[in-house]
């Protein structure tokens, strides 16, 4: 096996699910595991989540859901991005519930389900202000009226998405009020929804929806939030550690260069640990000459351009040998490198750091 691996803590994942349940005690869970469980590895995740009695697994695209179906999962699944016409048969054949954001797709689901002699269970997506997915609130009465009269289609849920639950609570509150107002207007006609869902991870903490009975945590499952402060509010534990090992130790003399394009020139004699992880594994090239690693409990600075397959760290005159563990994300000794540290250095968000860890990095459940 490669030196570079992503270790996944099963106990931390279970802990995070239990914390989510504490923040939403009256709601069932849609565990959002899109994008390969935010880069953590869905094949390692789904059985654990089902054993924790999550009601739904949630995805962005139907092919993601289909992949897990083919792994053997037969539980409820939901897809949040509006379906494409040529995907609809997959939803119907494999009993995957869509969220619907257009009248055209609504009609197509009904027609194709009728042809297959099956019934599609679907969720109405309302656009409450993010302007990405959903039906405009003024069109929802017409939408539900049309849906009730279509064959082979059952509208069981209604949902929307909070765009600022982690940084602008006032706007998130406006979205929630519009969501609840729209539901009440629909229900005054006699139409009832089995499921109502709005809250993402940040919404669970900052603006819980009392009228809802489903929540859609994503990044919080993995022990991460948009900020460490939010993660600490929920008492989450990070699931993923990204590790490698020293592949070579090289002597570099003063004035010599390290890596492509001469991005590092040694100002003194030193030694370099070569580690087999690079941007081909998802380690951002923009972290060149900025990030650090942990070896034997001590921090070492990355030097020279991060390559596709390798990167280098200045270890000075310390005793470091081939095979020593290198921590890129995670704990070693009394120190820890977090996704927040790397995302700040890279000028991005924590989600992107884990999601872009590529498939060639083995995921190990520990």
Task: Supply the DSSP string of 240-264, one letter for each residue.
Answer: EEEEEE--EEEEE-TT-EESGGG-E
Verify whether residue 237 is a known catalytic residue.
Answer: no
Distance CA 242, CA 306 (A): 16
CB 228 within 8 A of CB 338: yes
Structure tokens, 29: 């869970």
Task: Supply the DSSP string of 174-228, one letter for each residue.
Answer: HHHHHHHHHHHHHHTTT---SEEE---HHHHHHS--TT-SEE---GGGGT--SSH
Catalytic residue among 142, 194, 235, 260: 260
* b/e sequence 84-114, b meaning 16+ C-beta within 10 Å: eeebbebbbeebbbbbbbeeebbebbbebbb
Verify whether residue 298 is a known catalytic residue.
Answer: no
Distance CA 297, CA 325 (A): 10
Tell me which residue of 308, 323, 340, 315 sits closest to 243, measured CA to CA. Answer: 323
4: left (phi over 0), alpha (psi -120 to 50) or beta: beta
Query: Per this entry, what is the length of the chain?
Result: 366
Task: Supply the DSSP string of 148-163, one letter for each residue.
Answer: HTSTTEEEEEEE---S
Give the residue carrying structure tokens 């629909």: 186
Known catalytic residues? 34, 260
């Amino acid at each position: 096996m490669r030196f570079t691996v992503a270790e996944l803590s099963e106990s931390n994942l279970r802990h995070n699910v239990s914390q989510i349940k504490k923040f939403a005690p009256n709601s069932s869970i849609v565990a959002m595991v899109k994008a390969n469980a935010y880069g953590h590895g869905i094949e390692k995740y789904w059985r654990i989540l089902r054993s924790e009695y999550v009601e739904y697994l949630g995805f962005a695209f139907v092919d993601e859901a289909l992949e897990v179906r083919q792994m053997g999962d037969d539980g409820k699944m939901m897809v949040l991005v509006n379906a494409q016409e040529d995907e609809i048969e997959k939803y119907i054949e494999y009993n995957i519930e869509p969220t619907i954001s257009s009248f055209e797709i609504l009609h197509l689901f009904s027609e194709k389900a009728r042809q297959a002699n099956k019934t599609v269970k679907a969720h109405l997506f309302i656009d409450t202000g993010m302007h990405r997915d959903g039906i405009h609130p003024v069109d929802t009465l017409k939408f539900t009226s049309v849906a009730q009269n279509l064959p082979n289609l059952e509208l069981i849920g209604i949902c929307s998405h909070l765009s600022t639950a982690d940084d602008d609570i006032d706007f998130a509150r406006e979205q929630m009020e519009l969501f609840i107002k729209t539901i009440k207007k629909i229900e005054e006609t006699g139409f009832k929804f089995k499921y109502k869902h709005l809250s993402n991870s940040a919404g669970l903490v900052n603006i819980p929806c009392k009228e809802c009975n489903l929540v859609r945590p994503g990044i919080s499952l993995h022990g991460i939030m948009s900020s460490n402060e939010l993660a600490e509010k929920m008492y989450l534990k990070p699931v993923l550690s990204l590790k490698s090992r020293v592949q070579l130790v090289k002597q570099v003399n003063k004035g010599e260069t390290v890596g492509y394009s001469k991005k590092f020139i040694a100002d003194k004699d030193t030694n370099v640990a070569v580690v087999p992880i690079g941007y081909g594994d998802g380690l951002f090239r923009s972290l060149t000459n900025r990030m650090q690693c942990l070896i034997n409990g001590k921090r070492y600075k990355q030097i020279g351009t991060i390559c596709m397959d390798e990167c280098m760290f200045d270890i000075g005159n310390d005793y470091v040998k081939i095979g020593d563990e290198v921590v890129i994300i995670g704990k070693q000794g009394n120190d820890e490198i977090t996704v927040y540290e790397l995302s700040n250095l890279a000028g991005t968000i924590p989600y992107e750091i884990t999601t872009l860890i590529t498939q060639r990095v083995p995921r190990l459940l520990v």
